[in-house]
Each structure stands twice: as C-alpha cells, then as structure tokens.
Amino acid sequence: MNYVRYFVRLLVAVMCLFAAAGVQAANPGTYDAPLPPQLETDPNLCAYVPCNEVISGANHFAPRTGQPPYAPAIDAGGKTIGYAFLSTDIVDIPGYSGKPIVTLIGMDTHGVITGIKILRHSEPILLLGIPESSLLHFVGQYVGKFVGDRIEVGKVATGEADTLSVDAISGATVTAIAEHQVILQSALKVARQVGILPPVVRIQARYTDVPPAANWAALLQEGAVQHLVVRPEELDLPPGDGKPYVDLYYGCLNPPSIGRLLLGDSYYEGLMAQLKPGENALFIINDGTASFKGSGFVRGGIYDRVQVRQEGDTFSFRDTDYLNLYSLKAPGAPD
C-alpha cells in the first residue's frame, strides 16, 4: 500500500511538471521572460517594448518624460494622441510570487485605457491548473474603461451604481487583485500628471492630544471606532447558529486619544515609533464565523477582503504589513 501511495504521488508530480512545461512552451514570451536591461534606463521606452500594440494610430513615440515617466504617442500630424507607460516605472506592487507583473499600458488623451500587454510575470499559479489566457482575459477587461471610474474586481454590491466590475481570475485571487492595482494606480498617476484628472492635494492629518473618551462605548458613539456586521443571509448562505458572518470593528490608532485608550501608553508609543512619517496604523478585530483576511491571505499573504479606498486610490495590505493585536485596553472592549 505504501508503494502504491508513493507511485501515485510521484505520478501526480510528474504530470504537474509536464503540464507546467506544456504551458510554458505554449507561452514562451511572458512567464519569467527576459527583458532587456535598457528597459529600465533608456529614455526610448518604445525601442524595447511594442508600444504600438497598446496604442494604435501612432506615427512614433517620444522618449519617456515626466515623473512618473510615460512615452507620448505622436500621430503623423505631430499631435499627441496618448501615452504608453511601464508599470514598474510607476508602482512596486508584488503579485502572488512576490515579484511584480511587468505590464505595458496604453491610454489616450481622454483617460481611456487603449491597451494592456503583460511583458513578464512570475505567477506559479498560472503554470499549474490555471491557463495563462485567464490573465490575458482579465487585463483585457480594462481596455475601453476610463481611469477615473470606480472599478472593482468581482461582483459589485447592490446600491453601488457608480461602480464598474471586472471578473476575477478564478483560483488566482491574489494575482487579480495585484494586477488590478498595477493597472489603475499606474494609469491614475499618469492621468493626473498630464492633466486628464485634477491632481489630488491632501493636507496631511495632524492629530492633537485631546482628552480621551471614557470607554469603548464612548469611542463607538463618537465614531472613532466603526462597526460592520454582515450576516450569512446577505450572502445567500445558511443562517447557521445565528452568529454573524463578519462582526468587524475597526479604526485609526494614530490619534493619541484613541490609540492610548485602545492599546495602553506603552504599546501605543512603541507602535508609533515604528511608523514612518505620514504612515498610519489601523486596527481590525472580528468575531464572525468567517475570516476577514480572505482566501488570498492563505495563498499569497494579501488581504483580499480588506482595503482602504480614498477616491481613486486603493490600498491593499499584505502579511508584511500587520502585527498581531492580542487585547484591547479600553474599558468595555470586546474580548
């Protein structure tokens, strides 16, 4: 029996290797594809990548300009008709593998995405069981969309009529979320720079030390701590024992009157000392039947159910971003 089990496991391993080799041979240009070193430094971006595949109608492409850099697409009459840009010039967002998905993006002068081409990825999930065509289909959904629109991966909740949805990659949630942010954050930064979208000027919050609330209930009442409850019936799931699917509390810890009450003086001061200027610490606790981390956290260390969104900017979190919170010090806080 042990020999049979060993043979079956060996057979499965060999089949996986052949499957991976077959996919890699069929798609030789993307998985860990070698890219010329000049791609990172040469101003003439489009001498090394096919910019004409992401923007049509260009007579030529000018050298990279701006910060972040982009290559203007120029028509036969000398008019700028769009912009080509390389994702790794603009953002540093790792995929499931921990490496970036190197993406060439085209956008016209109205802020509409005209084309997307994956130049290199290192996603192992796309070699075993999930065809690479799934990634190509995923990025193709962004073509024709305006970068200033609110776009979400997956089904849009009822009541969010101003939100567009794109289908996720089944079985590769982390890859989809990472590439979603790569595309939109790159395009948004270029669109703001060239004047398609107004630049966002935000004054950095400055927290003053005011008398703290008396207890947990007071924090909830004044809105310093927020509460979200999602019940199984809202997700078309059996009600079970009546416990919420998600019973979530969250808030910002930087304001001294909040952070000190929740963490205690010593923990608060230690946490603030770890933050860089302009960084914020959030706390999240959950007593529901489901994890707020999501399946992507198990597979690739990304929280696919928790994001911070501010206008067009979306921030996701990874396993390297969090610390365990073992208790709350505020009187009346949940166990």
51-92: pLDDT as tens digits: 999 999 999 999 999 999 999 999 999 999 999 999 999 988
- In this structure, the answer to whether residues 54 and 180 fall within a common structural domain is yes
Six-digit token string for 255? 């304001």
- In this structure, the answer to whether residues 187 and 53 fall within a common structural domain is yes
pLDDT tens digit sequence for 214-239: 999 999 999 999 999 999 988 888 88
Number of domains in the chain: 2
Residue 239 lies in a domain: yes
DSSP structure string for 255-311: SHHHHHHHH-HHHHHHHHHHSPTT---EEEEE-SSS-SS-HHHHHHSEEEEEEEEET
Cβ-defined contacts of 232-241 (< 8 Å, 24+): 232/289, 240/289
- In this structure, the answer to whether residues 235 and 306 fall within a common structural domain is yes
- In this structure, the answer to whether residues 227 and 108 fall within a common structural domain is no
Beta bridge partners of 263: none
- In this structure, the answer to whether residues 233 and 292 fall within a common structural domain is yes
Beta bridge partners of 251: 283
pLDDT tens digit sequence for 132-144: 888 899 999 999 9
| Dist. CA 199–CA 5, nearest whole Å | 61
- In this structure, the answer to whether residues 182 and 41 fall within a common structural domain is yes
- In this structure, the answer to whether residues 165 and 106 fall within a common structural domain is yes
pLDDT of residue 17: 36
- In this structure, the answer to whether residues 145 and 60 fall within a common structural domain is yes
- In this structure, the answer to whether residues 163 and 227 fall within a common structural domain is no
- In this structure, the answer to whether residues 165 and 282 fall within a common structural domain is no
CA angle 302, 99, 97 (to 5 degrees): 55
The pLDDT tens digits along the chain (335 residues) read 343 333 333 333 333 333 333 333 334 458 888 999 899 889 999 999 999 999 999 999 999 999 999 999 999 999 999 999 999 999 888 887 878 899 999 999 999 999 999 999 988 776 667 888 888 999 999 999 999 998 988 877 656 667 888 988 887 888 888 899 999 999 999 999 999 998 777 787 777 778 888 999 999 999 999 999 999 988 888 888 889 999 999 999 999 999 999 999 999 999 999 999 888 999 999 988 888 887 667 666 778 788 887 766 677 788 888 899 988 999 999 88
Claim: this prediction has a pTM higher than 0.75: no
- In this structure, the answer to whether residues 52 and 174 fall within a common structural domain is yes
Domain span at residue 190 reads 25-194
- In this structure, the answer to whether residues 167 and 29 fall within a common structural domain is yes
| Residue 129 Ramachandran class (φ > 0 left, ψ -120 to 50 alpha, else beta) | left
